[in-house]
Amino acid sequence: MGNYRFILSGGGTGGHIYPAIAIANELKKRHPNAEFLFVGAKDRMEMEKVPQAGYKIEGLWISGLQRKLTLKNLLFPIKLISSLLKAGKIVSKFKPHAVIGTGGFASGPLLRMASGRGIPCVLQEQNSYAGITNKLLKDRVAKICVAYDGMEAFFPLDKIVKTGNPVRGDLVTMGADKNVALDFFGLSTNKPTLLVLGGSLGARRINQLIEEKLGYFKGHGIQLIWQCGKLYFEEYKKYDSKEVKVLDFLNRMDYAYTASDLIISRAGASSVSELCIVGKPVIFIPSPNVAEDHQTKNAMALVKENAALMVKEKDLDNDFEKIFTKVFQSEANQNQLAMNIKKLAMPNATVAIVDEIEKLLSK
Protein backbone atom coordinates (compact mmCIF):
# COMPACT_ATOMS: atom_id res chain seq x y z
CA MET A 1 0.00 0.00 0.00
CA GLY A 2 1.55 3.27 -1.10
CA ASN A 3 -1.13 5.81 -0.16
CA TYR A 4 -0.20 6.20 3.47
CA ARG A 5 -0.84 9.38 5.41
CA PHE A 6 1.71 10.51 8.00
CA ILE A 7 1.63 13.32 10.51
CA LEU A 8 4.96 14.50 11.94
CA SER A 9 5.30 16.89 14.81
CA GLY A 10 8.37 18.47 16.35
CA GLY A 11 9.62 21.97 16.71
CA GLY A 12 10.81 24.93 18.68
CA THR A 13 14.43 24.28 17.70
CA GLY A 14 16.29 22.87 14.71
CA GLY A 15 17.11 19.86 16.91
CA HIS A 16 13.45 18.82 16.78
CA ILE A 17 12.61 20.04 13.27
CA TYR A 18 15.43 18.58 11.14
CA PRO A 19 15.02 15.00 12.46
CA ALA A 20 11.30 15.19 11.59
CA ILE A 21 12.10 16.41 8.07
CA ALA A 22 14.73 13.66 7.63
CA ILE A 23 12.19 11.00 8.70
CA ALA A 24 9.58 12.42 6.29
CA ASN A 25 12.12 12.38 3.43
CA GLU A 26 12.94 8.72 4.06
CA LEU A 27 9.24 7.78 4.26
CA LYS A 28 8.62 9.66 1.01
CA LYS A 29 11.48 7.79 -0.66
CA ARG A 30 9.83 4.49 0.26
CA HIS A 31 6.24 5.62 -0.36
CA PRO A 32 6.26 8.24 -3.15
CA ASN A 33 2.45 8.51 -3.09
CA ALA A 34 2.17 9.05 0.64
CA GLU A 35 0.65 12.26 2.05
CA PHE A 36 2.43 14.23 4.74
CA LEU A 37 1.34 16.86 7.22
CA PHE A 38 3.51 18.54 9.85
CA VAL A 39 2.08 20.07 13.00
CA GLY A 40 4.11 22.73 14.81
CA ALA A 41 3.78 25.58 17.27
CA LYS A 42 2.60 28.89 15.80
CA ASP A 43 5.31 31.58 15.68
CA ARG A 44 8.16 29.05 16.01
CA MET A 45 10.84 28.33 13.41
CA GLU A 46 9.14 25.16 12.10
CA MET A 47 6.45 27.34 10.45
CA GLU A 48 9.21 28.62 8.13
CA LYS A 49 11.60 25.65 7.88
CA VAL A 50 9.05 22.91 7.10
CA PRO A 51 7.51 24.65 4.03
CA GLN A 52 11.07 25.36 2.82
CA ALA A 53 11.59 21.58 2.88
CA GLY A 54 8.48 21.12 0.74
CA TYR A 55 5.91 19.99 3.32
CA LYS A 56 2.59 21.39 4.54
CA ILE A 57 2.37 22.47 8.17
CA GLU A 58 -0.42 23.48 10.55
CA GLY A 59 0.29 25.51 13.69
CA LEU A 60 -1.05 25.03 17.21
CA TRP A 61 -1.31 27.86 19.73
CA ILE A 62 1.03 26.29 22.28
CA SER A 63 4.16 27.17 24.23
CA GLY A 64 6.02 25.74 27.20
CA LEU A 65 5.66 26.61 30.84
CA GLN A 66 8.08 29.29 32.02
CA ARG A 67 10.10 28.55 35.15
CA LYS A 68 8.81 31.66 36.90
CA LEU A 69 5.28 33.01 37.28
CA THR A 70 4.47 35.00 34.14
CA LEU A 71 1.44 35.96 32.09
CA LYS A 72 2.45 33.23 29.62
CA ASN A 73 2.01 30.63 32.36
CA LEU A 74 -1.49 31.92 33.16
CA LEU A 75 -2.35 31.48 29.48
CA PHE A 76 -0.93 27.94 29.38
CA PRO A 77 -4.17 26.04 30.32
CA ILE A 78 -6.13 27.97 27.68
CA LYS A 79 -3.43 27.30 25.05
CA LEU A 80 -3.35 23.62 25.98
CA ILE A 81 -7.13 23.17 25.64
CA SER A 82 -7.11 25.11 22.35
CA SER A 83 -4.23 22.95 21.04
CA LEU A 84 -5.88 19.67 22.09
CA LEU A 85 -9.11 20.68 20.30
CA LYS A 86 -7.27 21.74 17.13
CA ALA A 87 -5.03 18.62 17.21
CA GLY A 88 -8.17 16.46 17.50
CA LYS A 89 -9.68 18.17 14.43
CA ILE A 90 -6.42 17.75 12.45
CA VAL A 91 -6.26 14.02 13.28
CA SER A 92 -9.97 13.48 12.41
CA LYS A 93 -9.65 15.27 9.09
CA PHE A 94 -6.28 13.90 7.93
CA LYS A 95 -6.81 10.32 9.23
CA PRO A 96 -3.09 9.39 9.52
CA HIS A 97 -1.86 5.80 9.43
CA ALA A 98 0.98 6.73 11.80
CA VAL A 99 2.08 9.77 13.79
CA ILE A 100 5.71 10.60 14.60
CA GLY A 101 6.76 13.02 17.33
CA THR A 102 10.30 14.37 17.61
CA GLY A 103 9.82 16.53 20.71
CA GLY A 104 8.80 20.12 21.27
CA PHE A 105 5.58 21.59 22.61
CA ALA A 106 3.29 20.88 19.66
CA SER A 107 3.95 17.14 19.61
CA GLY A 108 2.32 16.76 23.06
CA PRO A 109 -1.31 17.63 22.17
CA LEU A 110 -1.01 16.00 18.73
CA LEU A 111 0.26 12.60 19.92
CA ARG A 112 -2.13 12.72 22.89
CA MET A 113 -5.11 12.99 20.52
CA ALA A 114 -3.77 10.53 17.92
CA SER A 115 -2.86 7.82 20.44
CA GLY A 116 -6.29 8.22 22.08
CA ARG A 117 -7.83 7.21 18.76
CA GLY A 118 -5.70 4.09 18.42
CA ILE A 119 -3.37 5.49 15.76
CA PRO A 120 0.16 4.03 16.09
CA CYS A 121 2.57 6.67 17.35
CA VAL A 122 6.38 6.76 17.42
CA LEU A 123 8.55 9.06 19.52
CA GLN A 124 12.08 10.07 18.62
CA GLU A 125 14.10 11.31 21.60
CA GLN A 126 17.35 13.00 20.56
CA ASN A 127 18.91 13.74 23.95
CA SER A 128 20.56 11.62 26.63
CA TYR A 129 18.12 13.23 29.08
CA ALA A 130 14.52 12.91 27.89
CA GLY A 131 12.42 16.01 27.25
CA ILE A 132 9.27 16.67 29.26
CA THR A 133 6.87 16.22 26.31
CA ASN A 134 8.29 12.80 25.44
CA LYS A 135 8.27 11.71 29.10
CA LEU A 136 4.57 12.60 29.34
CA LEU A 137 3.78 10.61 26.17
CA LYS A 138 5.82 7.49 26.97
CA ASP A 139 2.86 5.26 27.95
CA ARG A 140 0.75 6.27 24.97
CA VAL A 141 3.13 5.43 22.11
CA ALA A 142 4.10 2.15 20.45
CA LYS A 143 7.83 2.77 19.98
CA ILE A 144 10.48 5.18 21.27
CA CYS A 145 13.60 5.63 19.13
CA VAL A 146 16.61 6.86 21.13
CA ALA A 147 20.24 7.84 20.52
CA TYR A 148 21.84 6.97 23.87
CA ASP A 149 22.14 4.00 26.20
CA GLY A 150 20.45 4.11 29.59
CA MET A 151 17.16 5.62 28.37
CA GLU A 152 15.16 3.07 30.41
CA ALA A 153 15.57 5.65 33.19
CA PHE A 154 12.83 7.59 31.35
CA PHE A 155 10.94 5.14 29.15
CA PRO A 156 9.54 1.57 29.30
CA LEU A 157 12.35 -0.77 28.26
CA ASP A 158 10.16 -2.84 25.91
CA LYS A 159 9.38 0.25 23.78
CA ILE A 160 12.95 1.52 23.37
CA VAL A 161 14.93 1.02 20.15
CA LYS A 162 18.41 2.53 19.90
CA THR A 163 18.57 4.01 16.41
CA GLY A 164 20.67 7.16 16.78
CA ASN A 165 19.60 10.62 15.61
CA PRO A 166 18.82 11.51 11.99
CA VAL A 167 21.49 13.75 10.45
CA ARG A 168 21.72 15.62 7.15
CA GLY A 169 22.18 13.29 4.21
CA ASP A 170 25.15 15.25 2.82
CA LEU A 171 27.13 14.43 5.99
CA VAL A 172 26.63 10.68 5.73
CA THR A 173 28.09 10.78 2.22
CA MET A 174 30.62 13.52 3.04
CA GLY A 175 33.43 13.19 0.57
CA ALA A 176 34.56 16.72 -0.26
CA ASP A 177 38.24 17.32 -0.94
CA LYS A 178 39.82 19.31 1.90
CA ASN A 179 41.56 21.78 -0.43
CA VAL A 180 38.28 22.41 -2.27
CA ALA A 181 36.54 23.02 1.07
CA LEU A 182 39.24 25.44 2.28
CA ASP A 183 39.14 27.25 -1.06
CA PHE A 184 35.35 27.62 -0.72
CA PHE A 185 35.95 29.68 2.44
CA GLY A 186 38.99 31.48 0.98
CA LEU A 187 41.33 29.95 3.56
CA SER A 188 44.94 28.77 3.34
CA THR A 189 45.61 25.09 2.65
CA ASN A 190 48.67 24.98 4.93
CA LYS A 191 47.30 26.32 8.23
CA PRO A 192 45.32 24.45 10.89
CA THR A 193 41.62 25.35 10.78
CA LEU A 194 39.30 25.75 13.77
CA LEU A 195 35.54 25.53 13.17
CA VAL A 196 33.38 27.31 15.75
CA LEU A 197 29.68 26.39 15.90
CA GLY A 198 27.19 28.22 18.07
CA GLY A 199 23.94 26.93 16.54
CA SER A 200 21.77 28.76 14.00
CA LEU A 201 20.96 31.68 16.31
CA GLY A 202 24.45 31.79 17.84
CA ALA A 203 25.86 31.34 21.34
CA ARG A 204 26.71 34.57 23.18
CA ARG A 205 29.33 33.09 25.53
CA ILE A 206 31.12 31.17 22.77
CA ASN A 207 31.25 34.32 20.65
CA GLN A 208 32.69 36.30 23.59
CA LEU A 209 35.30 33.59 24.10
CA ILE A 210 36.39 33.58 20.45
CA GLU A 211 36.60 37.38 20.43
CA GLU A 212 38.82 37.27 23.54
CA LYS A 213 41.04 34.52 22.08
CA LEU A 214 41.57 35.84 18.54
CA GLY A 215 45.12 36.93 19.46
CA TYR A 216 45.80 33.52 21.05
CA PHE A 217 44.63 31.69 17.90
CA LYS A 218 46.65 34.02 15.67
CA GLY A 219 49.75 33.37 17.82
CA HIS A 220 49.34 29.64 17.16
CA GLY A 221 48.89 30.18 13.39
CA ILE A 222 45.28 28.99 13.49
CA GLN A 223 42.67 30.17 10.97
CA LEU A 224 38.96 30.18 11.82
CA ILE A 225 35.55 29.45 10.35
CA TRP A 226 33.43 31.22 12.96
CA GLN A 227 29.69 30.69 12.71
CA CYS A 228 28.52 33.35 15.15
CA GLY A 229 24.77 33.04 14.42
CA LYS A 230 22.34 35.54 12.97
CA LEU A 231 21.64 37.25 16.32
CA TYR A 232 25.31 38.23 16.66
CA PHE A 233 26.52 38.71 13.10
CA GLU A 234 26.31 42.52 13.10
CA GLU A 235 28.39 42.60 16.30
CA TYR A 236 31.18 40.29 15.14
CA LYS A 237 31.42 40.75 11.35
CA LYS A 238 34.12 43.41 11.94
CA TYR A 239 36.55 40.52 12.69
CA ASP A 240 36.12 38.97 9.24
CA SER A 241 39.55 38.80 7.59
CA LYS A 242 41.87 36.62 5.55
CA GLU A 243 42.40 34.26 8.52
CA VAL A 244 39.02 34.62 10.26
CA LYS A 245 35.82 33.93 8.32
CA VAL A 246 32.83 35.26 10.28
CA LEU A 247 29.48 33.86 9.10
CA ASP A 248 25.94 34.15 10.41
CA PHE A 249 24.95 30.79 8.93
CA LEU A 250 26.76 27.92 7.21
CA ASN A 251 25.02 26.84 4.03
CA ARG A 252 27.67 24.22 3.26
CA MET A 253 28.12 22.30 6.50
CA ASP A 254 29.84 19.49 4.62
CA TYR A 255 32.56 21.93 3.46
CA ALA A 256 32.86 23.46 6.94
CA TYR A 257 33.40 20.06 8.53
CA THR A 258 35.81 18.90 5.79
CA ALA A 259 37.91 22.09 6.07
CA SER A 260 38.27 21.84 9.86
CA ASP A 261 40.99 20.20 11.95
CA LEU A 262 39.42 21.04 15.32
CA ILE A 263 35.86 21.95 16.27
CA ILE A 264 34.30 23.95 19.12
CA SER A 265 30.57 23.35 19.45
CA ARG A 266 27.47 23.46 21.61
CA ALA A 267 26.24 19.99 22.62
CA GLY A 268 22.71 19.88 21.27
CA ALA A 269 21.67 16.36 20.30
CA SER A 270 21.76 16.97 16.53
CA SER A 271 25.20 18.58 16.73
CA VAL A 272 26.58 15.69 18.78
CA SER A 273 25.20 13.11 16.31
CA GLU A 274 26.64 15.01 13.33
CA LEU A 275 30.03 15.39 14.98
CA CYS A 276 30.24 11.64 15.63
CA ILE A 277 29.84 11.06 11.88
CA VAL A 278 32.31 13.82 11.01
CA GLY A 279 34.94 12.23 13.25
CA LYS A 280 37.10 15.27 14.11
CA PRO A 281 38.43 16.29 17.57
CA VAL A 282 35.77 18.33 19.38
CA ILE A 283 35.65 20.59 22.42
CA PHE A 284 32.06 20.92 23.62
CA ILE A 285 30.91 24.05 25.44
CA PRO A 286 27.37 23.03 26.50
CA SER A 287 24.66 25.64 26.87
CA PRO A 288 23.73 25.95 30.56
CA ASN A 289 20.39 27.53 29.59
CA VAL A 290 18.53 24.42 28.39
CA ALA A 291 15.97 22.27 30.21
CA GLU A 292 17.47 19.73 32.65
CA ASP A 293 20.99 20.81 31.55
CA HIS A 294 20.72 18.15 28.85
CA GLN A 295 23.57 19.54 26.71
CA THR A 296 26.05 18.86 29.53
CA LYS A 297 24.66 15.31 29.78
CA ASN A 298 24.95 14.83 26.00
CA ALA A 299 28.60 15.98 26.08
CA MET A 300 29.43 13.87 29.15
CA ALA A 301 28.25 10.74 27.35
CA LEU A 302 31.10 11.33 24.86
CA VAL A 303 33.67 12.60 27.38
CA LYS A 304 33.26 9.32 29.32
CA GLU A 305 34.29 7.42 26.17
CA ASN A 306 37.32 9.71 25.64
CA ALA A 307 35.58 10.76 22.42
CA ALA A 308 35.44 14.52 23.10
CA LEU A 309 36.53 17.22 25.54
CA MET A 310 34.23 19.55 27.43
CA VAL A 311 34.60 22.95 29.10
CA LYS A 312 31.65 24.36 31.02
CA GLU A 313 30.87 28.03 30.40
CA LYS A 314 31.70 28.93 34.01
CA ASP A 315 35.18 27.37 33.62
CA LEU A 316 36.13 28.99 30.29
CA ASP A 317 38.25 31.78 31.78
CA ASN A 318 40.37 29.34 33.79
CA ASP A 319 40.43 26.19 31.67
CA PHE A 320 39.90 26.92 27.98
CA GLU A 321 43.47 27.72 26.89
CA LYS A 322 44.90 24.85 28.92
CA ILE A 323 42.50 22.28 27.39
CA PHE A 324 42.72 23.69 23.86
CA THR A 325 46.53 23.81 23.89
CA LYS A 326 46.72 20.25 25.18
CA VAL A 327 44.74 18.88 22.24
CA PHE A 328 46.06 21.32 19.61
CA GLN A 329 49.71 20.55 20.33
CA SER A 330 49.33 16.77 20.36
CA GLU A 331 48.56 14.95 17.13
CA ALA A 332 48.21 11.73 19.16
CA ASN A 333 45.46 13.32 21.28
CA GLN A 334 43.68 14.58 18.17
CA ASN A 335 43.82 11.17 16.49
CA GLN A 336 42.57 9.40 19.63
CA LEU A 337 39.58 11.76 19.99
CA ALA A 338 38.75 11.50 16.27
CA MET A 339 38.91 7.70 16.32
CA ASN A 340 36.79 7.38 19.48
CA ILE A 341 34.06 9.82 18.42
CA LYS A 342 33.72 8.07 15.05
CA LYS A 343 33.08 4.76 16.85
CA LEU A 344 29.93 6.29 18.35
CA ALA A 345 28.47 7.35 14.98
CA MET A 346 25.12 5.92 13.90
CA PRO A 347 24.89 7.08 10.27
CA ASN A 348 21.87 4.90 9.43
CA ALA A 349 19.60 6.38 12.10
CA THR A 350 16.92 7.69 9.74
CA VAL A 351 16.62 4.35 7.96
CA ALA A 352 16.42 2.53 11.31
CA ILE A 353 13.65 4.84 12.59
CA VAL A 354 11.60 4.44 9.41
CA ASP A 355 12.07 0.65 9.64
CA GLU A 356 10.36 0.83 13.07
CA ILE A 357 7.50 2.89 11.61
CA GLU A 358 7.10 0.34 8.80
CA LYS A 359 6.82 -2.51 11.34
CA LEU A 360 3.89 -0.69 12.95
CA LEU A 361 2.24 -0.11 9.57
CA SER A 362 2.48 -3.80 8.68
CA LYS A 363 0.61 -4.69 11.88
- Chain mean position to CA 262: 20
Same domain flag for 119 and 13: yes
Q: Which residues are annotated as a binding site for UDP-N-acetyl-alpha-D-glucosamine?
A: 13-15, 127, 168, 200, 295
Structure pTM?
0.85
Same domain flag for 236 and 266: yes
Q: Which residues are annotated as a binding site?
A: 13-15, 127, 168, 200, 295
pLDDT at 65: 57
DSSP summary character for residue 310: E
Q: Mean per-residue pLDDT for 341-347? A: 93
Q: Mean per-residue pLDDT for 287-309? A: 91
CATH at 203: 3.40.50.2000
Same domain flag for 309 and 200: yes
Same domain flag for 177 and 69: no
- Residue 296: burial class (beta carbons within 10 Å; 0-12, 13-18, 19+): buried
Same domain flag for 162 and 214: no
Same domain flag for 34 and 143: yes
Cβ neighbours of residue 271 under 8 Å, at least 6 residues apart? Answer: 197, 199, 265
Same domain flag for 122 and 193: no
Indicate if the pLDDT at residue 361 is higher than 70.
Answer: yes
pLDDT at 280: 96
Whether the Cβ atoms of residue 166 and residue 23 lie closer than 8 Å to each other: yes
Q: Mean per-residue pLDDT for 22-40? A: 95
Query: Count H helices, E strands: the chain?
Result: 15, 13
pLDDT at 194: 98
Rg (CA), the chain: 21
The closest alpha carbon to 218, from 189, 247, 194, belongs to 194
Alpha helices (runs of H) in the chain, residue ranges in sequence order: 14-30, 46-52, 71-94, 107-116, 132-137, 169-172, 178-184, 204-219, 233-236, 253-259, 269-278, 294-303, 316-328, 331-343, 349-362
Same domain flag for 99 and 196: no
Same domain flag for 219 and 288: yes
Same domain flag for 119 and 262: no
The number of distinct structural domains making up the chain is 2
Whether the Cβ atoms of residue 38 and residue 8 lie closer than 8 Å to each other: yes
Domain of 52 in residue numbering reads as 5-166+347-362
Indicate if the pLDDT at residue 2 is higher than 70.
Answer: no
